[in-house]
Amino acid sequence: MQTDSSFTFVLFGGTGDLSMRKILPALYEAHRAGMLAASGKIVAVARHEEDRAGYLQWVNEHVKAHVAKSGIDEGAWASFVDRIEYVKLDLGKAEDFVKLRDALQDQSGTRVFYLATGPSLFVPICHALASVGLNENARIVLEKPLGYDLRSSNAINDAVGEIFAEEQIYRIDHYLGKEPVQNLLALRFGNALFEPLWRREWVESIQITIAEELGVEARGDFYDNTGALRDMVQNHLLQLLSIVAMEPPHSMDSDSVRDEKLRVLRALKPIDPRDISKVAVRGQYHAGVIRGTSVPAYATESGVKTDSATETFVALKVEIENWRWAGVPFFLRTGKRLADRVAEIVVNFRAVPHSALGASALRAGANRLVIRLQPNEMIRLYCLAKKPGEGMNLSSVHLDLAFDQFFKEGQMEAYQRLLLDVINGRLALFVRRDEQEAAWKWVEPILNEWAASGKPKPYAAGTWGPAAASAMLAQHGTCWLEEEN
């Protein structure tokens, strides 16, 4: 489906890593699929001394490698780069924003400003846009992290909110655009099979994991002042938790969905600082081996302080104090330099209360739903079946929804979906300010306690994190999915 109207997509940080790896490839895929209005334009903005030809050469060198598996269609690529203009802009020069306004004067339709920059630049850019009248009839996209804590997040939101109305602000979290997350909503609210089971009477526990094999790469300076709790938990993991646990919305319009997510975030049981050691584990990777390659310790990475107490791993036990989920533990986990790259949601259903078929039917986790977000997106339902042959011997089997096999159409990448939603004015998959505030309020006691306490627990790169993360689940009679397998 094509975008509703003409648009001008202004990309601040147009030469940056995020633009090259995610944003421009996503716009190219939307263009190739015929989803962008023919009159739509892309205006890249950066400080580099380039003309349009020089910028397009940069795009050719750095974007093509990140296009999806289907590769480049040279005809589509040529017509895509025809959409792109380049404006050199120094944020410290007011006259450069006048030049930007003049460059946009002949463009019609929706105007989108995407800030693929550091959060410290969000407010100066917004003020500069307003100074030349570019905040009117426009949408602004803010990348994470939006602040360092609740206070700084509120400061940014207050400043941006003076210039753009809330319905103009799109706070992006790309995990919400992933196909399996959308399918989770379809499974829950479109099928009578799952919704009656989606509650404390039938769910024993839920795990949400976002694991990375990579370390901090070239982001040591940024990451050492951020850490896994701010970088991943406050946004991605709590957003996934709210999608899993939310009540059925009245409709799929933006405020109905976000109202239900907010109710979950506000129902999170506050963490008492005295209990943090029981429900929160933080770790930091040391040297190790990943897929046969030796990797260094976090403290020796470029840009990282040698005595750093920044966590690269977090595991949490979370409870939701409402009627549907009271007493059900949610286990959240994220980390760098772990044994595998995987993002998944695991719903463990309770065992049957009594079985005439033997102990296998009473095993925890015999019935389980696994929603894999990456690397291979799929949904898998585990259940028990009789083994062929004599006797009533049960074995675990699974039913798969593998999207690439079941649906012949190509899958839409998360950024592609979200960028189309921005252009078309759909806010449901973006984070509202009150959601963000609720997440920061819940996270802050952990941040404060960790800032006042000792160093994170060490774990070897290439493992699944500190042993304390496994011990935390063992106290509840369960384990992480990979440990069971």
Closest to 442 (Cα-Cα) out of 330, 292, 294: 330
Q: What is the pLDDT of residues 188-243, one digit of tens each?
A: 888 888 888 999 999 999 999 999 999 998 888 989 999 999 999 999 999 999 99
Taking residues 390-397, report their average pLDDT.
76
Name the H helices within 388-453: 403-406, 414-424, 433-452
Distance between CA atoms of residues 264 and 245, nearest Å: 7
> Regarding predicted confidence, which is higher, 406 or 379?
379
Report pLDDT for 311: 97
Between the CA atoms of 414, 416, 418 and 423, what dihedral angle is there, to the nearest 10 degrees? 180
Torsions phi, psi of 90, nearest 5?
-105, 120
Is 231 marked within a binding site?
yes
**Predicted structure pTM score:** 0.92
Q: List, in order of start, the domains of the chain with CATH numbers.
A: 7-143 (3.40.50.720), 176-412+434-484 (3.30.360.10)
Distance between CA atoms of residues 322 and 37, nearest Å: 45
Taking residues 441-452, report their average pLDDT.
94
Is 47 marked within a binding site?
yes
Is 184 marked within a binding site?
no
Q: What is the pLDDT of residues 279-334, one digit of tens each?
A: 999 999 999 999 999 999 999 999 999 999 999 999 999 999 999 999 999 999 99
> Regarding predicted confidence, which is higher, 238 or 386?
238
Closest to 224 (Cα-Cα) out of 303, 150, 143, 288: 303
- What are 379's two structure tokens? 């949904």
What are the Cα distances from residue 56, in Å, to 20, 42, 52, 61, 349? 12, 12, 6, 9, 52
Distance between CA atoms of residues 287 and 446, nearest Å: 26
DSSP 3-state assignment of 399? strand
Annotated catalytic residue 236: yes
pLDDT category, 357, cuts 50, 70, 90?
low
Distance between CA atoms of residues 207 and 483, nearest Å: 13
Could you say which DSSP state residue 427 is in?
-
> Regarding predicted confidence, which is higher, 268 or 68?
268
- What are 44's two structure tokens? 């890249």
Is 336 marked within a binding site?
yes
Contacts of 406 (CB under 8 A, 6+ apart): none
**What one-letter code names the amino acid at 314?**
V
DSSP 3-state assignment of 258? helix
Is 178 marked within a binding site?
yes
Catalytic residue among 31, 127, 236, 250: 236
Distance between CA atoms of residues 279 and 264, nearest Å: 19
Could you say which DSSP state residue 352 is in?
P
Between the CA atoms of 99, 103, 108 and 110, what dihedral angle is there, to the nearest 10 degrees? -60
Could you say which DSSP state residue 201 is in?
T
